[in-house]
Structure formats: C-alpha cells, structure tokens
Structure 1
C-alpha cells in the first residue's frame, strides 16, 4: 500500500499519533492533507471534523476523501450566503446535514467535511434528536394517533399519496412514510394497534416490493418540537423582540415566522430561532463522542469573518432594522478553532513555530508523457517516483510508453527501485521533499476526472420520476375524442338501474355539461399545447372539432407517409461501411478525461454499429445540455477521419461553432487531423483557402453555421454529417440538410427532450439514442425563492465574483434592460457588466456572448433569448428578476445554464412582494417553490419541454395542429397512422351494466387517485392484470370491496368479448350465451372450436343460426362470479385460437 510507504518515509506517522498539544503545519497540498486525514482516521478510529474556509474548498476535500474511504466520509454543507438560510431553497444541503447528524448519533465514526459556517451552525442538542427518533417494529403494538402526532412534530407533512421525502399518509390501517435519506418510502400495515407488516414501496408505481422487520423514523428538519416546546419558544421569541422598535418589514416577518412556527410551515427557513428552543447551544462537534478537528487555511476563515459581517449588514439593510441580527444562527468561530487538533495553513496563521511539511503540488501533465520523461530524467538520484494508475487503460498506455523509452520500473514495492508503477488507486499527486518522493495518479498524468459521489442525488432523483404529470385536477383542460376541448370539473357519482357509476364532469362552450362514464375514460385526455396557450372550449355538437380533428389526421397522415418514404429510401440506399475500431480509435477515446455514463456508452455503441453497416446512418441523439452528446459526436467524427472520410459539423450559431471548433481542435490535432472553422466572421481570403483545402481533401473536419450549406462548399469525400439542434435552422437550410443526408451517415443532436409516446412511434423509423443520465460530477443547482432585495442581489453577485466566477442576470424586459445595467453598476461598482437581448442584431448578440465566454466582463444581463446550448462553465450564479412571470419549463431550461462545471451553482429566483399577485402568478410562485424541491413543478416543466421537443422533432409546421387537438390526442393519432391500427371504440352492448362502476370515497379519498384507478381498470387486458391490480390496491388502500372486484371483472369481460368478436351476450340464470358476429363466425374452425369446448371444465353447448355461432356455458357448478368465469373462458378460447 502506497499509504504505508508515505507513513514510513514521511513523518505523518508521528503527526497523527494522539497528542494533547495542538499541532501547526505549513507548506502542504490538498492531496497530502487528504492523505494525512485518511491515515489519521484509519489509525485512530476516531471521528474527524475537517473545517475549510469555503464550500468550494470543502467540496474538493469531500470528493477526494470520499474516493478513498467511501461512505465513512460525510458532507455537512451550509449556505455561504447567510440570508439564503432564511429563504425557501433546495433541500439537498439540509438532507445532507441531517444524514450526518443521524450517522454520528447512531454511534458511527467518520470524517465530516464542512465549512467554517458548518462548524459554527447552531443545532438542537443531541438529546433532542435522540428523543425525536422512533423505531417501529413488526408484531409490536403502537397507538397510530401517537405516531401521526410524532410525525407532525418531526416536520412531516400529511399527503394523500406519498411521493416526496417528508410526506406521510394514513389510509385506514395503512401508514405510508417517506423518511429522509432513504431511496424508497415505507408502508406500515396495522391490524388494530399491532404492526402486521413493514414494506418499502416504489413512488412511481406505489407498489411495495420488500418486507422489513423495522423502520427508523427521524426528524425532517433541524427545527422540530413538541407542543410544549413550541409554546415556551414562541413566548421567548415575543419577549425578546418586544425589546426592539421593529420596522414594518421586521414586524411583518416576525408575524409570518410565528404563524409558521405555530403551523409548522416552511420550518427549513426558521433555523435561526433554534436558540429559543434550546438552553444549551450545540454544534455538529457535540454529536461525536470524541473527535479530532482539522482546521485548514484558518487565515482565510478569519478574513471571511469580515464578509460574514458584511452579509449581516446587508440583511440589516434589507429588513430596515437590526432586531433580527440580535438572533444569531452561529456560534463564535475563534473559540471553536481553538479546539483544533491540527491546523494547516500555508500563510503561517499561528504565532507558534509551524512545522514545515515541505510538500509541493505537481501540475497535471495532461497526457504529455514526453514532459514526464524530461522531469524523470532530470530528477535527483535519491528521488523515488510512485505512480498509481487506477484506470487500466492509462496503466497499459503508460507501461507501453516506458517500454518504448526503455525505462525500467518495478511493480513490487518490496523490490528496490526509483520508479514504481502500480495498477491501483493512487494517493494523489505531490512532491514530498522531506521524504524525497514523488506521488502521481491518473489525474496528474492524464488529467482524468473520476466520478464524484453525490450522496443526496440518489435520494432526490427518486422523486423526479413522480407519477403521471397528466393526472387531472379540477379546472384542467381536457380533450374528449368525440366532443373536443372541455374543462374537467370533478368526479361525480350517479345511480343507474340500481348500479352506482362514477362520471367525469366536463364543461364545454356556453356552459354545456357532459358526463363521461369512467369506463370510457381512455377517450378523455389531458390537453397540453405546444406553447402552453389557453385553448378555446369546443361547442358540443358543433362541426369545428370534427374539422380540426380531420385536418390534424390529414397532416399526420402526410407526416407519417413522409417518414415511411424516408425510411424506405434509407433502407435501399447504399452507404459506406466504416472500419471496426482500431488502436488509434481506442487511444483517442482514452483522451476523454471523464467517465462515460451508461446512456453515453449505449449511444456510442449504437452510433458505431450504424457507421459500420452499409446503410447510411440517420440517428438522433437527445439529451439535456451538458449530458455528453458532444463526446459521442467526437468519437463518431474520429472514426470517420480514420477511414479518410471528411466530416461536416453544422451548428445554428457562430458561438457554438467556435466552442465546438476549439474542442475538436484540441482532441484531433495531436493525431495529425486538420480541423477548420467556417462562418461569416472568417475573413474572405481565409474562407477561400478553407474551401480549396476542403475540395482537395486537406481538411478532415469542418465546423460551421449555415455558411457550410452554400453552393460553393465542395467536399472531396464527405462521410459523416453532424447537425446540432436541426430544428433551429431555416426551411431552406433544412431542405439542403435533407439532400445531404441521403448518401452520407448523419448524426443529429438535440437538447430538447421528446415525449415517450413519440419515441415509441418513431421507433424503427428513426434511430434514437436518449442520454438521460447527468454527468457523474454534476452537483444539483441550489435554488432559492426570495423577495426582491437589492442588498441580497449584491451579496449573491459579490460572492460569485470573489470566487472568480461569472453571473447570469435574467431581466426579461428589452425596454428597461439598459437602465437595469446602470442600476446594477451603481449597486456593484466592482463588476464589469454587459447586456444582450433578442432585438439586437445577430452579430452584436454573438459578440457580447463571445466576450462573456472569454470573461471580458462579469455579469451578463439578458432576456430569455440567451443561447441555451452555449457552455459557459465559469458561470455558476443565476439571478432571475420577476421569476413569477416565467413559465416552469422556461425556468428549468434557464436554470440549466448554470451548474455546468464541478462547482456547486446557485439560482436565486426573486419576486416582487409589493405587487398584488393574481391567482395565476400565486399559483406559479407556489409551483416555483415546489419546483426547487423537485416536486410537481418539476414534472410540469419536464412535460412542457417534452411538448416543445415534439414540435421540434416533427417540424414547426406541425405545431398548429398539435395545438388544435392537444399533444396527447395528436400522439394517439400519430400512433394510429404509424401502426395502421385505428383506435376503434367497443360499442358492443355499451349500455349493459353488470356491476357498480364506482370507487367509494371512503376507500380512496382523492379524486385524482380514483381517476387513476379507473384508468387502470380500463386498461386491464387479462386475468393476471386483475390479480396484480387487486394485490396493489390491497397493498395501498387495504381490503377490497367485492363490488370493486366485480367492476374489474366486468371491464375485462367486455374487453375480452370484444376481442373475441362477440355481437351480443345473453344471460339466463346460471347460463351465459355469447353470440359471435357473422364475419367472425365464418372464419372460425368449427371442429377446433368443438374440440376445445368439449374439454372445458363446465358444460358448453354450441349453436349456429343465420351464419352466427352461439356458445352457451352452464356455470351451475361454479362457486365464483359469472363475470370471472366468463373472462376465464374467453381468455382460454382466445389463447387456443392464437395457438
């Protein structure tokens, strides 16, 4: 083990021995410090707190230590802007802190990485957390009301269906709970007071899948309390603030906060009241039995105190008063720093003599092994190199290089050598001068960026797949297949011939009402348009709807015919079959410094398979911005170049062209490939030279805008065309692209997601690759919703600029944008600011964005026009003014412009509290707040984006027809056109009612869930589906009513008899007769039917009258319901018929 080498050769061994006196070090590096901390933990088996000055530093230490020790390394992140702690924001930081607290309280030892604000953050005392935890076990008795009370006290919210962490639901004897830091929620089934079973269930299907013996419940927030604690704390708060003369803002805030404390609302924004709930003031270090504390770069922490002071003054300005500053969320830093076991500071922070570690950083060689060779040859004789390469591809490459240069090395650390090369995890890269040793790893030699473990991602991502975004709520627009666009007004129950039936109430133009039986629910779809516009209600009985549907059908037919023709042309066309991967291709792929995601891997395999076939490739790759589509394009392009074919890369803007040009140039040039950039900014003389070289075949890859589609652009041997965001090119350009595609391999990249239904319709006609997994080192964007305050905006901007970053400022009014820039210049005079909007000329707009990419200025004030595809990794703070005026899908895409690097990014969504927001804006603001927690707002955003994606992929000219009938019906009609199957309605005895088609409100309270279950019943196709649904309903809602089971069998019976070809059903006591349609009867093999019926378990009599076969079954001997028996019989007949 290399760590043992370091232990013995350097003095780390003596430093990490338990000692009473604190130690001070200087001249060290991140990797060396991380190794010392890891060795300390492994040697002493004691919790270690690592304190850093900033979140950026803490994140780096967490990543490195986590890669060494896995789950034993914990993150305790806090917001760096103090006022953000008081805003409603993303839940990840809080989740991570609570996870760390629970881990330590459970008696585990670990390394906790945090900032100085984490070290000083006040918490309730450990005993409060212990009292706030409960364990529920199978076969033990509990008072359910007590558990519900406990959950409410612990910050859980009651909800009918549990989908998000922090929700619970009680339905009869079934209690669902979604605790923090668990991927799946729990379902506890009681019999009276005794726990019968505890299971985990899936939030998407709501089905349970694994039995457990116990469940541990812990608080949802850092502020949780009993009724008694609440009363005492509120008294203290009121007494405390009565000493101050409060400003209007302070008074209003205090009243809101007290109301929230009483109702337990928005508790995550009230942590600064913790002192009033706690006599003792605790911080995270009080949760460990014993610990060692590392303070790294302590001088920076002391400098930060000034910044914290400024933050508090900013808050004072925002609140027009000082009263809230009297309540501190943090303890004093210096007394806590004095508890440090080891302080490491390269600035000589302490007056005592600091020990000089004499360790220096080694800059990355970035795959330049010649440079390594030079350093190794010129080294001191005593210096020993230890090279540990975890990635086998780099290990093999490096060993090959050493063989070529006849450099001798050892793989056994016990054999004396001055160069050791190991295929294992390294310990970082640094030069330890005291030990005369150089340590290098994958990152140092090949600039490899390994995956980072982001614990909270897995927990929260689980909730992004939340059930259907198309679930109906009262007031939603819907489309009925026959009657058109109406408004859904709720679920209602009526009695028909002694049977209860549930109906959807739809309202049309002129307030006309339509009651749709729930068994026809598949003919009612949620209406969604391409641009989110409000539709006009259809007139019942009017011709307009039928006309709109006919027009849409005709256009869809044209579109599907066109797609099928294109597919046939492609199938008949002969393309160039590219060679299989060779060593150079593998070498090129080694140069990628990140780990590919599973989706990326699949897309790469698919693209290579297409290229190696003799049919021209036409593949679409869909994936969010920054999910790795460019790497797929790079590998495809290199494959083409290796076969001496030319590559055309077409992008919609000069900025994107420039970005891709630099990426390609960096990766391709070392292999002798020539890459050129062609757009209108390239001087005419240079353009002429490029065109000549292109025609002669001297240029391998040309990247550019629509300039590349001009008639003067000629290729010697074009083999691959890559098109980025094809939907953004003009009609003429698209036609030229289509012509080019016929005989060359084509790869299209799109950042807009497309609906699953569309993916299915296009399957087989268009080759699709979906990249839906985010890169491994991407952190979730921390999102906050705040009232507009200039002081807070200044604070957010200054925090980003001080870490060398840039800011996007979204101001969506072209008229006032220059005035906004002037106001920001006064607010933040230190910052360089520019603006961009859609009414600027294309050249001016692209010049501004180019300057921003080159960091010529710090803040870009822009409207929503700013290029979504442009990658500016240095921009990690987004400020949105009047966020309540933007749509959720817009917010989702805009937010995606930050957080593109491995830094934590921030989005601040400001709204003007002075305005009286109308219902729509209130609703949107509430959805935005929800959106920060990846709730339903997130689902809506993704749905809206998918609708836009459908318009993009099918062509903008289809958008009007999508809006006319709504996206859901449009997709249904498209599927009809592509498969040739029409969605004919089952009219066989539609009025025959054999059962209640009703779900009791006492069984399922929520209308939306009852509709969902009706839909599920409508989609039953076989007996096993009924059994599955019965099991699921018992699991979710408890014992089933017999009438509901009969309703399921009735629905299945009707569907199966329609499938068999039944004309009518006759019932006479225990006998049921099926009369088959004439056309069905004439095609049946009578002998086979006789043989099958004679083998059936109940007596069957066959008849034949006027060309129609009748089948009579006698169920006298049956104990079951005739609907079940008939479903079983028809299923038996159909399966035999199919065989």
Structure 2
C-alpha cells in the first residue's frame, strides 16, 4: 500500500485534466479514486468527459442527496439512486468480491453529508436469485422497514407492487425496477422492466435490493465518505481552499435551517415520505476540520493550479481552446499554423453530423485542412504544446451550448398511461376504443384462473360494467371534448359506437379524396427548385446552440428536400411549445434567401410577431440577410377602426 503523499499537477487547462487522470488511473490499476470538483456542474462535466474517453464501467457521479441547499430534508430521488449505487459498489469492493478499481466524481456539498457504514450497508442488502424460495410475508415486512411503499405500479425508487404471481420492486440503487415472476414461493424468473411501459426488457440471474441509504439509518451508523472509502483510495482536489470554504458555509446554513425548522415542527406529505429526511441533526454531516483531518492519511493530488505546498509537482504545458466566435477564417488560419508546426489535430463532437458539417465548410472555403474527427464529446478543448496535440470541440467552435448528462432515476413524465390512470377520479369520463364512452369507477382486484389481477372498472349505460385488464390500458383514454360539455354514455353491446366510428371513417375518406384531387393538381404544377445547401447554410445549422433532437433533424431534412424539389411545397410541421419548430423555420427561410428569394413569416398576434422578429434577428445577425418587422396596424385604435369597417 503506497504511503500518503501530496502531489501537484499544474498547467492543466480545458479538459486536459480528465485525459491526465485517465492515464494516471490506468497506470495505478490497484487504486480507487475520488475526484472533487468545485461545483456540481463541473463534476458532471468532468464525469461525462471521463466516461466518454475511457468507457469505464466503475465510474460514478456522486451528488448531494438534497434537492436544494436551502432545504436539508427534501431529497432528490435521482441523486439518492446515484449515491446508493456508488456506495454499494464501493462496499462490495471492501469485501473483496470485486477487483476493479472504483472512481467517484463529486463536489463539496456531496462530501458534506455522511454516509452509512460500509458493513451496515452490506448487511442490509437483500439478495434474490432465480429458483430461490423466498418468504413473501417476511420480505414485505423488510421492505416496509427499509422505507419502501406499496403501490399499484412501480415507477419511482422505493416502491413495490404485488399482483398475484408478479412482484415488482424499484430498488433505490438501480436505474430501473425489477420484476419477479413467482411460482408459489419460488422465484421463477427475474427481469428488468421499463417504468414507462411496465414491460420486461431482459432477464437476470440475481439482483440486490438496496434500502434508502439517506433515510433508513441513524447518525450512529454514519461516517464521512473518507472513512467509508477503502485504504487504497487517492483523492484528487481541484481547489482545497474552496472546498474548505464550502463546507464552512454548509455548516452555517445547516445550523440556521435546524433552528428555523426543527424536527418537532416538521411534517411531511405522506406521498413523499420516503424522500424526506425527518430525523436530522448536525451529526449527519462533517465540517472543514474533519475534511482536512481525513486528507492526512490519503494520497492527495491537486490539479487546479495551486500546489498547496506539495512535495512533488508535475508541470504540464497546456492551454485552453481559443475563441473563434464562428469566424472560420480565424479557425482555418489557426489550424494551418498548427499543421505547419506538425501538431496532430483532433476535433471532438458527440454528433457525427457536426463533424460532417465542419468538413463541408472547410471544403467550400477550399481550406485543404486535414483533421482527425472523434465522435465523442469532451467539455472543453485544449492544446498540449509538449505533445503537439490539438483537441478542439465543435460546440466551442460554433458557440453552442454543451449539456451534461446524468442518469435519472425516474421522471414524472414517464409511464404516461399509468400516471394518467392514477390521476383519474371515479366519475371521470373515459373512451374505450371498442366500446365507446363510459365512466371510470376505479381499480378492482379480481381472481382470474386462481391468480389475483388488477383491472380498471368502467360503468356504461344501464349500469353495465366493463373490466379492462391493466395490460390493455392502451385501449382506454380520458375523454376530451368541448369544455363543459357532458358526453353521452354508450350502451355495451349496442352498435351505436360502431356506427359512429364507421360514419367518422367515411367522412375521413371523403376529406382524403378531396385532398388527393387537390394535391394531384399541385403536383402537376411547376414550382421553384432551391439549390442544395452551401457552406453558409451548413454554418447556420451548426451554430444552433442546442443539439438537434432526432425529430428536429428529420423535419429539417424533409423541409429542405421539399424545397429542392421542382413541385410546389406544402408541408406542416407540428410540435409542442419548446420543441424547436422555430429553428426549422429559420433554416428554411435562410435557405430561400440564399437563392435570392424573400421569406415571409405570418403569425396571429403582434407580440408573437415581435418575438419571432427578435429570434430571427439573433440567429441571422452574422449572415448577409435583412430581417424586417412589419406590423399591419400601427396602433390599437387603428386596428379597432379597421375591424369596425
């Protein structure tokens, strides 16, 4: 075991630190590592970069478990899951069951919280294997003891559901829930299920059910993360002084919170009990003094630029990627200079299409540049003058927003069908695709061939009852009609609903026939065929500060294909607010302006017109296009007068 040491790594800029760490961790294969960044966002970006360049499996993002720093009782479910996952893996390492090193990326607020003792955590994990016989009653009691809540369906950590021979559990340390198929008390199979569809994804031979490590253990069963870590763990600090200051600030905020909101005055919503830390005290946290004491027995590497009196120092000669502000002449000049000095040029982008766009721009500008495209993402570009390596990122070249990705335990938008079902109240109107409009009357457990199953109960005319199995939820939907209107409830077994569907189909066919004739006439006419994209179109699209969604990319490609056709164009782009329709319109309008045409954007209100004017102006300000704002009525008085006449 190496002796504790203090080492400084200076001169690391951009995303050079994750590359240096990756090389060092690969060399010190027997060591675990904890990397402490200054901010939660910095930690997430560092984690993403490191994960992309190494593909490491035992790399964990270790966040604070609280939703905000202002409320030390309300927990974040996704963060609880990530913390639990990391601690469970580290606990297994200490018992010698795994030999791979573990890497934690974290920040001061996450270090502030104590964690459950490794031995206690290991002893409270429930292990279940296929073909194993289990005592369902004892298991249910243990799940209740661990803070799990019984529900009809599992869609967030800390829930379990028992329906006949189907037993679903959403463990706190896993991204998705497990489904156990029971044959009596024997576990017949174990599968991972999708919380959205409730369908099985793949089989497993064994699983571990992990309790909520943030609410189920007392202060006496908690230690600092550094006491939890194995002895062979190196600590990487970006800024030790800042970490100390943050811990001091956290202690002050915690004391203020405990004075303002003591446990005796605290009450939680029962639905969120498992995500509430009721018994809270200062003993659940560490202070700056304890943090510094923990560093004395560890090998510490400072990589933020300050050596902190380290006995050993390694100096690197790197610098951050220059700002080109989307001026490709400057970028080309810079890369040609690097090429002349025999630097190796790498350009990183998560989206291969961005690399193709960049190559197209270089070709159109006849730059004759050679670079190595790398289809993965790093947060910041850098130049290493010692190794003669250039690593640039596409989002910095195009000034695009780079978003980090962190695993999420669940989302309330998931499991839409189940969520809607839970929101339905007895008496709400629903529509069944085969039987028409009925009244929702709740859920009911039924014995089907000796097995207990859940069904949706619908009431129809003359108090007829229809039971819908939960596997057929896709056939029912909440009734939507005119506001305030009361629908007519259908009669089971009658042909009224079928006649209505047939009548609707006939009407749709009639409309479709008229549309076919109309579009046949349009197809026969000659339209204006736009030219293929040039480098300015490519530059505009690449400068979009967000990553295109798959639907957005497809809509853009379809619109441009229509525009380049000789037939008149007629396309409708649909999407919810904020889904990127305006960006598609901007690209189409710019494409037609490049070909010497004008583009008009018509909107229903003056405010919306001005909003679009600002958006178009901001996006096109660096291109040879003029954007004008035309308001039909100069004043409200003129508008009222015109409408009156």
Matches within 5 A, 1:533-552: none
Identify the residue that residue 370 of structure 1 maps to in structure 2: 329
Identify the residue that residue 572 of structure 2 maps to in structure 1: 619
Q: TM-score, normalised by structure 1?
A: 0.44
| SS in structure 2 of the partner of residue 620 of structure 1 | coil
Structure 1 residue corresponding to 2:148, chosen from 147, 156, 166 = 156
CA separation in 1, counterparts of 2:132 and 2:436? 55
The answer on whether the counterparts of 1:384 and 1:437 sit within 8 Å (CA) in structure 2 is: no
Give deviations 1:763-816, integer Å, cap 9, x for gaps.
xxxxxxxxxxxxxxxxxxxxxxxxxxxxxxxxxxxxxxxxxxxxxxxxxxxxxx
1:106, CA displacement in angstroms?
3.9
The answer on whether the counterparts of 1:294 and 1:341 sit within 8 Å (CA) in structure 2 is: yes
Identify the residue that residue 476 of structure 1 maps to in structure 2: 427
Identify the residue that residue 769 of structure 1 maps to in structure 2: none
CA separation in 2, counterparts of 1:195 and 1:540? 44
The answer on whether the counterparts of 2:613 and 2:628 sit within 8 Å (CA) in structure 1 is: yes
Indicate whether 1:389 and 2:347 are aligned.
yes
The answer on whether the counterparts of 2:459 and 2:466 sit within 8 Å (CA) in structure 1 is: no
Give deviations 1:522-550, integer Å, cap 9, x for gaps.
9997445666x6x7799999xxxx9xxxx
| SS in structure 1 of the partner of residue 600 of structure 2 | strand
Alpha carbons of 1:560 and 1:640: their partners in 2 closer, same or farther (altered >3 Å)? farther
Q: TM-score, normalised by structure 2?
A: 0.73
Indicate whether 1:40 and 2:24 are aligned.
yes
Alpha carbons of 1:554 and 1:135: their partners in 2 closer, same or farther (altered >3 Å)? closer
Structure 1 residue corresponding to 2:301, chosen from 326, 342, 363 = 342
Identify the residue that residue 95 of structure 1 maps to in structure 2: 81
Identify the residue that residue 261 of structure 2 maps to in structure 1: 319
CA separation in 1, counterparts of 2:541 and 2:320? 28
Identify the residue that residue 215 of structure 2 maps to in structure 1: 223
1:117, CA displacement in angstroms?
1.8
CA separation in 2, counterparts of 1:492 and 1:309? 50
CA separation in 1, counterparts of 2:9 and 2:520? 70
Alpha carbons of 1:350 and 1:77: their partners in 2 closer, same or farther (altered >3 Å)? same
The answer on whether the counterparts of 2:118 and 2:228 sit within 8 Å (CA) in structure 1 is: yes
1:294, CA displacement in angstroms?
0.9
1:310, CA displacement in angstroms?
4.3
Alpha carbons of 1:138 and 1:304: their partners in 2 closer, same or farther (altered >3 Å)? closer
Identify the residue that residue 858 of structure 1 maps to in structure 2: none
1:362, CA displacement in angstroms?
3.0
Indicate whether 1:581 and 2:532 are aligned.
yes
CA separation in 2, counterparts of 1:520 and 1:345? 61
1:572, CA displacement in angstroms?
3.3
The answer on whether the counterparts of 2:559 and 2:571 sit within 8 Å (CA) in structure 1 is: no
The answer on whether the counterparts of 1:295 and 1:343 sit within 8 Å (CA) in structure 2 is: yes
CA separation in 2, counterparts of 1:505 and 1:74? 47
CA separation in 1, counterparts of 2:312 and 2:179? 60
Alpha carbons of 1:367 and 1:143: their partners in 2 closer, same or farther (altered >3 Å)? same
Alpha carbons of 1:380 and 1:489: their partners in 2 closer, same or farther (altered >3 Å)? closer
Structure 2 residue corresponding to 1:74, chosen from 38, 42, 60 = 60
Indicate whether 1:59 and 2:59 are aligned.
no
| SS in structure 2 of the partner of residue 216 of structure 1 | strand
Which runs of 5 or more structure 2 residues have no equivalent in the other structure? 94-99, 266-278, 447-454, 497-501
1:642, CA displacement in angstroms?
3.6
Matches within 5 A, 1:695-714: none
Structure 2 residue corresponding to 1:597, chosen from 543, 549, 554 = 549
| SS in structure 1 of the partner of residue 15 of structure 2 | helix
1:160, CA displacement in angstroms?
3.3
Cα RMSD (Å):
5.0
Alpha carbons of 1:558 and 1:195: their partners in 2 closer, same or farther (altered >3 Å)? closer
The answer on whether the counterparts of 1:490 and 1:504 sit within 8 Å (CA) in structure 2 is: yes
CA separation in 1, counterparts of 2:506 and 2:153? 41
| SS in structure 2 of the partner of residue 634 of structure 1 | helix
CA separation in 1, counterparts of 2:154 and 2:163? 11
CA separation in 1, counterparts of 2:264 and 2:151? 39
CA separation in 2, counterparts of 1:659 and 1:205? 38
1:76, CA displacement in angstroms?
1.0
CA separation in 1, counterparts of 2:142 and 2:445? 36
The answer on whether the counterparts of 1:116 and 1:333 sit within 8 Å (CA) in structure 2 is: no
- Which of the pair has more CA radius of gyration? 1
How many residues matched? Answer: 579
CA separation in 1, counterparts of 2:439 and 2:357? 62
Identify the residue that residue 572 of structure 1 maps to in structure 2: 521
Identify the residue that residue 219 of structure 2 maps to in structure 1: 275
Indicate whether 1:120 and 2:83 are aligned.
no
Matches within 5 A, 1:300-319: 300-312=242-254, 314-316=256-258, 318-319=260-261
1:515, CA displacement in angstroms?
1.3
CA separation in 2, counterparts of 1:616 and 1:461? 39
1:41, CA displacement in angstroms?
1.7
Identify the residue that residue 1114 of structure 1 maps to in structure 2: none
Structure 1 residue corresponding to 2:463, chosen from 515, 526, 536 = 515
The answer on whether the counterparts of 1:168 and 1:175 sit within 8 Å (CA) in structure 2 is: yes
| SS in structure 2 of the partner of residue 675 of structure 1 | coil
Indicate whether 1:332 and 2:276 are aligned.
no
The answer on whether the counterparts of 1:203 and 1:466 sit within 8 Å (CA) in structure 2 is: no
Give deviations 1:666-723, integer Å, cap 9, x for gaps.
6546553x2313155xxxxxxxxxxxxxxxxxxxxxxxxx669x9xxxxxxxxxxxxx
Structure 1 residue corresponding to 2:580, chosen from 628, 647, 666 = 628
1:125, CA displacement in angstroms?
0.8
| SS in structure 2 of the partner of residue 300 of structure 1 | helix
Indicate whether 1:675 and 2:626 are aligned.
yes
Structure 1 residue corresponding to 2:139, chosen from 144, 147, 153 = 147
| SS in structure 2 of the partner of residue 223 of structure 1 | coil
Matches within 5 A, 1:822-901: none
CA separation in 1, counterparts of 2:594 and 2:313? 57
1:478, CA displacement in angstroms?
2.5
The answer on whether the counterparts of 1:29 and 1:359 sit within 8 Å (CA) in structure 2 is: yes
| SS in structure 2 of the partner of residue 469 of structure 1 | helix
1:619, CA displacement in angstroms?
0.3
1:378, CA displacement in angstroms?
7.4
Alpha carbons of 1:56 and 1:483: their partners in 2 closer, same or farther (altered >3 Å)? closer
Alpha carbons of 1:386 and 1:449: their partners in 2 closer, same or farther (altered >3 Å)? farther
Identify the residue that residue 269 of structure 2 maps to in structure 1: none
CA separation in 1, counterparts of 2:476 and 2:549? 39
1:563, CA displacement in angstroms?
9.0
The answer on whether the counterparts of 2:44 and 2:404 sit within 8 Å (CA) in structure 1 is: no
Identify the residue that residue 430 of structure 1 maps to in structure 2: 382
The answer on whether the counterparts of 2:236 and 2:302 sit within 8 Å (CA) in structure 1 is: yes
Structure 2 residue corresponding to 1:644, chosen from 579, 583, 596 = 596
CA separation in 1, counterparts of 2:9 and 2:146? 43
1:313, CA displacement in angstroms?
5.0
The answer on whether the counterparts of 1:135 and 1:216 sit within 8 Å (CA) in structure 2 is: yes
Structure 1 residue corresponding to 2:35, chosen from 9, 27, 50 = 50
Matches within 5 A, 1:971-1050: none
1:623, CA displacement in angstroms?
3.2
The answer on whether the counterparts of 1:50 and 1:295 sit within 8 Å (CA) in structure 2 is: yes
Which runs of 5 or more structure 1 residues have no equivalent in the other structure? 1-16, 226-273, 410-420, 494-501, 508-512, 547-552, 681-705, 711-728, 734-1139
Indicate whether 1:104 and 2:96 are aligned.
no
| SS in structure 2 of the partner of residue 644 of structure 1 | coil
More helix by share: 1
Matches within 5 A, 1:522-533: 526-528=478-480
CA separation in 1, counterparts of 2:490 and 2:346? 75
Identify the residue that residue 319 of structure 2 maps to in structure 1: 360
The answer on whether the counterparts of 1:386 and 1:440 sit within 8 Å (CA) in structure 2 is: no
Give deviations 1:865-890, integer Å, cap 9, x for gaps.
xxxxxxxxxxxxxxxxxxxxxxxxxx
